[in-house]
Structure formats: structure tokens, C-alpha cells
Structure 1
Amino acid sequence: DGRIRSMDHEEQGVEPARVFLDRLNVHSIDGYDVRRQVLGMTAQHLKPGMWFKVRGEVGDGAFRRLAQKVDLELLARLAKADCEGRR
């Protein structure tokens, strides 16, 4: 189908992102935990697309748990950019 797949790339992307943030010495900006958000979004960026495919099976609790890890609006924007970048 011409699609490129990289198994487990969400999980595999976390450590390089951590190293990059370390190199830049990024932790928080004006009280906002940038590091937590970047690492969380790296680890979760495929969830919106996966959940859309099975939207009838994903409950509110799943969204609440994910919202504990990342800013859902930022995650949605990242997921959209990730999809659009493949076109």
C-alpha cells in the first residue's frame, strides 16, 4: 500500500527526545512543564489516530487518563501535523 511503518516508534522516540531536551537543558518555561509535555506527546502521538479508527470502543475514561499525561489539544495538533506531513 506504499505506507511506511516503523513499529514501536512512539516508545523508541522517547529516549532521543529526552537526550535532545537534555542537550538544550529544557525543563519548564514560566512554570509550564515543557519536558513532560514533549516526552508525553512523543510517547502518545499515535493515540488520536488509533482511537479514531475504533472510536466506538474508546470510553471517556481513556481520554481522562490520557489527559493526565498530556495536553489533549496539543496532542491533537501534533497528531494532525504528523498525518498531514505524510501526504
Structure 2
Amino acid sequence: MPETVELALSAGRHYDAWQLQARWAINQRAWTEALGLLSRIERKDFFDLQLEGRALQVKKEDPNIARDPAAQKEIEARQHEIMMITYKAPGITRDI
């Protein structure tokens, strides 16, 4: 994984490197790190949005967040927003 991220960075593909790192963070259930990495991507494509949705789901399952109704509502609102964005424009791509 580190070599792949390093390759993406050396090729000037910062967004792809951040996305790869976010995937790894989600796999480790580190939603804070994943959302932080994804927030660095200015123009999210379909896959970035799907990763953000997955990170939000992991966040929602966090025991500390699960007890916070305000946080749950905020997460659900963003998940709905992601769903509507991808529904209205399923072919979202970044300018490469």
C-alpha cells in the first residue's frame, strides 16, 4: 500500500493517493482519518463520494456517535446528500 500511494504521489495523482489512503483507513475502521483524507479532495468523483458514504456509515456505527442523536442526524443528512448527488449525476468524474 505505501508503495502504491508513493507511486500515485510521484505521478501527481494526489487525489488518487488520498482516496487509496482513505480506503485503507475505512478498512481499519478509522473513519476520522478517512473523512479527513477525503475532505482534501476538492472535486469528488463517484468513487470518492461512495467512500465518504462508507466512512460515514462506519462513523455512525461508532459507539460514541451511536449515542448522539444530533450527530446521527447530521450523518444521515450527509448520506442523503451523497445519495442525491450520485443519483442526479451518476457519471461524476474529476477533471484529470
Higher relative contact order (CA 8 A, sep 6+): 1
Q: Above 0.5 in TM-score? A: no
Give the alignment's TM-score, normalised by structure 2: 0.29
